[in-house]
């Protein structure tokens, strides 16, 4: 009887668990359906207000307390958006913060609902029913998408008043549509998330069966402060909160199985932190995401490896004194050639910079290298190596040593210098050169010439890996430094490239035996290959056109309408065949500014103060209205209905009115009664893009309009 009762209880519990899982999944798809109409809401728009109304209704129906804040108390910025937050107590006071923007990203193409909001609301409902291991805070900020450095406004406003007494970590989700995987970004401006958080997220994703992408190279560029764009969670990292940014794989659609796994991932994050949120923060680490497993090399590993390496270097003369004397003697005898060889490769790289600058100039497309950064970098380096090989074949009067030990010893010496140089930039960068140094040592020990070739090829593996990551991300700032930097970029490449060229020359000597009649076979073969590669790259880059019917060439038309006239600045990244250049300025027929922006200025004076009421009535929906008050002397603001900030260099006051303002916007402020000045008002419109085809190729026109007005203030 007891066994039967236990079996029935087990069956019922399993049924309850399955039903709970089904309910969670059904809840997610229900949220996706209900939020479909809100997927394209923008900052401060009526759609955003409708979304907030739906969110509060759902929370109230589930008896979940929440808090809504607007931006009325912000000091140096403003938005018509709002921030909604929900706190769920856990077994620990440590807090895991889920950040989900309520606005859709400008580039979002999602029409299936808001997966960000739907998945967060599903996890919220789950943790409301099941007490999490750590406390949860669900943050839904508005005004996150906009021009840096002001944005994300919602995150900045939240962090202004948030101070966690217990350890806290942040997970920032920016998924725009169902995807087949996730991309993790862990770096901000000269800072990265701690190692334990990246490992926890990685293991939880693997347990849930969700593929993800992580670039250790991007994390390195973040620590070096050369990220092309900062992820939205960067303010959390700067404030001292561990944070990871999640984004979906582009142009992919996830099926129901992936969505189930994603919900499983979200709901299992609490149990992954059952021991609490660590307070340690290891910033100098290398996280290698491999298909089967992850390899993490921490700061302790780097330092220990470098200590062991240099101990081996110091012990080498004691244990192998004879070969050490041979290599040291060969390098010392021809030491005068070392700076000459370094100067030669630097000069050749300098010459290689000329074609990578000349080709974009001839095409009338200065930034075309950003489309094919690896090809331009390869053209520069192959040209330099080709000239370096010619140096050894054509310049006969330079006494290049025939002693093979010189080239092997010099290669090891330059690799040691590379380690010292890279360690001053970031200690994790030394891993790639330490690998090369180990195989360079094996290169000197191998008696067989084919084994030497194998060691030579293996020594470059990790350098090719980091170059592949840099140019496929692509890390444009780093790529631009390597391609265009005349001094420091070429000098860094020279130090890294020279030891491999020296090993190549050492291999060439192995095949240069007089009896075989095969002299300089390696350099000759390398010369022929490089010549073909340079020809191919030159033709490819010269004929490359990034635009087509599917991706038309952009044409930017920036119109400015003032009381003094109507002008349009026309520009394009590439040259325009119709005008023979990249930009053009034209004068258009004058249009009264009142057709787009009506203003009403009222002033009243009481005692020594002047109350100003400025009513703005734009036509249509401008993206932003800017109001700046200029005066000859420093302006004193007694009161204002909107936040403002003063320009430290000029006596100007900028009033922050927010984006997507309402049809009738009123600014009220109080100045001294004797204050003189001028209000400069600018309404900015972003008009819908459209396609034209004036010639053989179509153009995608992006048109902006700025309407400028001035209103003087004259004291009574």
pLDDT of 14 > 50? The answer is: no
315 CB-contact burial (10 Å; exposed 0-12 / middle 13-18 / buried 19+): exposed
Report which listed range, 53-57, 108-112, 115-119, is most confident. Answer: 53-57
pTM of the entire predicted model: 0.87
pLDDT of 1 > 90? The answer is: no
Query: Could you report the per-residue pLDDT of 580-592, keeping only the tens digit for each?
Result: 677 778 887 878 8
Q: Where are the beta strands (DSSP E) in 256-301?
A: 286-289, 294-297
* Strand pairing category for 243-248 and 168-173: parallel
Q: What is the per-residue pLDDT for 6? A: 44
pLDDT-based confidence at residue 94 (cuts at 50, 70, 90): very high
Whether 605 contacts 594, CB under 8 Å? no
pLDDT of 594 > 90? The answer is: no
pLDDT-based confidence at residue 456 (cuts at 50, 70, 90): very high
d(CA 88, CA 59): 12
Task: From residue 389, give the alpha-carbon distance in Å to each of 114, 230, 527.
Answer: 58, 42, 7
Using the Cα atoms of residue 54, residue 60, residue 66 and residue 69 in order, give the sign of their dihedral. positive
Q: What is the per-residue pLDDT for 428? A: 83
pLDDT-based confidence at residue 5 (cuts at 50, 70, 90): very low
Contacts of 344 (CB under 8 A, 6+ apart): 388, 391
* Strand pairing category for 565-576 and 581-588: antiparallel
Whether 379 contacts 541, CB under 8 Å? yes
pLDDT-based confidence at residue 4 (cuts at 50, 70, 90): very low
Q: What is the per-residue pLDDT for 697? A: 78
Question: Torsion angle of alpha carbons 259, 262, 264, 268, nearest 10°?
Answer: -170
Query: Could you report the per-residue pLDDT of 16-50, keeping only the tens digit for each?
Result: 334 444 477 788 888 888 887 777 788 888 888 88
Q: What is the per-residue pLDDT for 10? A: 38
d(CA 141, CA 125): 19
Q: Which of 293, 332, 81, 110 is nearest to 202 (CA)?
A: 293
Query: Could you report the per-residue pLDDT of 439-454, keeping only the tens digit for each?
Result: 988 888 888 888 988 9
Q: What is the per-residue pLDDT for 253? A: 52
Q: What is the per-residue pLDDT for 113? A: 53
pLDDT of 648 > 80? The answer is: no
Structure tokens at 283: 């910033």
Structure tokens at 133: 């291991």
Structure tokens at 352: 């290689």
Mean pLDDT, the chain, as a whole number? 84
């Amino acid at each position: 009887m007891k066994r039967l009762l236990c079996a029935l209880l087990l069956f019922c519990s399993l049924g309850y668990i399955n039903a709970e899982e089904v309910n969670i999944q059904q809840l997610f798809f229900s949220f996706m359906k209900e939020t479909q109409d809100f997927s394209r809401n923008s900052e401060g728009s009526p759609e955003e207000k409708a979304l907030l109304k739906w969110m509060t209704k759902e929370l109230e129906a589930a008896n979940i307390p929440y808090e809504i804040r607007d931006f009325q108390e912000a000091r140096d910025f403003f938005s018509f958006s709002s921030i909604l937050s929900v706190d769920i107590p856990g077994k620990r006071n440590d807090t895991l913060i889920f950040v989900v923007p309520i606005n859709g990203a400008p580039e979002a193409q999602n029409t299936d609902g808001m997966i960000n909001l739907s998945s967060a609301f599903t996890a919220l409902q789950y943790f409301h029913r099941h007490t999490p291991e750590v406390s949860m805070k669900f943050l839904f900020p508005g005004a996150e998408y906009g021009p840096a450095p002001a944005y994300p406004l919602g995150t900045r406003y939240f962090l202004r008043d948030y101070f966690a007494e217990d350890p806290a970590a942040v997970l920032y989700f920016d998924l725009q549509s169902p995807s087949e995987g996730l991309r993790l970004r862990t770096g901000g401006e000269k800072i990265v998330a701690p190692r334990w958080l990246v490992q926890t997220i990685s293991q939880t994703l693997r347990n849930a069966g969700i593929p993800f992408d992580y670039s250790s190279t991007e994390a390195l560029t973040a620590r070096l402060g050369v990220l092309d764009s900062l992820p939205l969670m960067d303010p959390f990292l700067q404030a001292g909160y561990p944070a990871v940014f999640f984004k979906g794989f582009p142009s992919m659609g996830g099926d129901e199985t992936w969505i189930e796994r994603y919900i499983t991932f979200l709901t299992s994050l609490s149990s992954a932190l059952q021991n609490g949120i660590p307070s340690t923060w290891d910033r100098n680490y290398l996280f290698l995401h491999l298909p089967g497993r992850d390899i993490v090399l921490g700061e302790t590993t780097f330092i220990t490896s470098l200590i062991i390496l240099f101990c081996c270097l110091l012990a080498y003369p004691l244990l192998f004194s004879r070969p050490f004397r041979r290599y040291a003697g060969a390098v010392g005898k021809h030491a005068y050639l070392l700076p000459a060889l370094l100067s030669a490769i630097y000069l050749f790289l300098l010459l290689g910079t000329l074609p990578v600058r000349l080709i974009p100039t001839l095409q009338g497309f200065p930034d075309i290298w950003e489309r094919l950064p690896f090809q331009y970098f390869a053209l520069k380096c192959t040209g330099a190596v080709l000239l370096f090989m010619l140096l050894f074949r054509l310049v006969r009067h330079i006494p290049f040593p025939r002693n093979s030990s010189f080239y092997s010893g010099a290669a090891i010496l330059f690799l040691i210098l590379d380690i010292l140089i890279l360690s001053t930039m970031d200690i994790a960068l030394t891993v790639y050169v330490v690998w090369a140094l180990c195989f360079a040592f094996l290169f000197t020990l191998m008696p067989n010439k084919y084994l030497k070739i194998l060691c030579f090829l293996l020594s470059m593996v990790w350098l090719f890996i980091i170059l592949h990551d840099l140019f496929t991300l692509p890390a444009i700032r780093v790529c631009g430094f390597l391609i265009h930097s005349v001094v420091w970029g070429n000098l860094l490449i020279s130090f890294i490239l020279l030891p491999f060229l020296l090993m190549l020359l050492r291999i060439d000597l192995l095949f240069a035996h007089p009896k075989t009649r095969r002299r300089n076979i390696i350099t000759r073969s390398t010369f022929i290959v490089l010549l073909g590669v340079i020809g191919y790259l030159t033709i490819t880059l010269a004929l490359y056109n990034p635009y087509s019917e599917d991706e038309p060439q952009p044409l930017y038309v920036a119109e400015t309408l003032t009381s003094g006239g109507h002008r349009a600045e026309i520009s394009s990244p590439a040259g325009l065949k119709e005008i023979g250049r990249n930009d053009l300025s034209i004068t258009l027929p004058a249009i009264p500014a009142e057709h787009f922006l009506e203003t009403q200025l009222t002033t009243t004076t009481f005692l020594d103060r002047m109350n100003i009421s400025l009513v703005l009535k734009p036509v249509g929906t401008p993206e932003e209205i800017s109001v700046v008050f200029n005066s000859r002397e420093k302006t004193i603001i007694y009161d204002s209905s909107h936040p403002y900030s003063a320009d430290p260099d000029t006596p100007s006051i900028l009033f922050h009115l927010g984006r997507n303002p309402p049809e009738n916007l009123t600014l009220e402020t109080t100045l001294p009664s004797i204050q003189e000045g001028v209000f400069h008002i600018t309404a900015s419109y972003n008009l819908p893009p459209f396609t034209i085809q004036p010639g053989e190729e179509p153009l995608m026109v992006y048109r902006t309009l700025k309407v400028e007005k001035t209103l003087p203030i004259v004291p009574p």
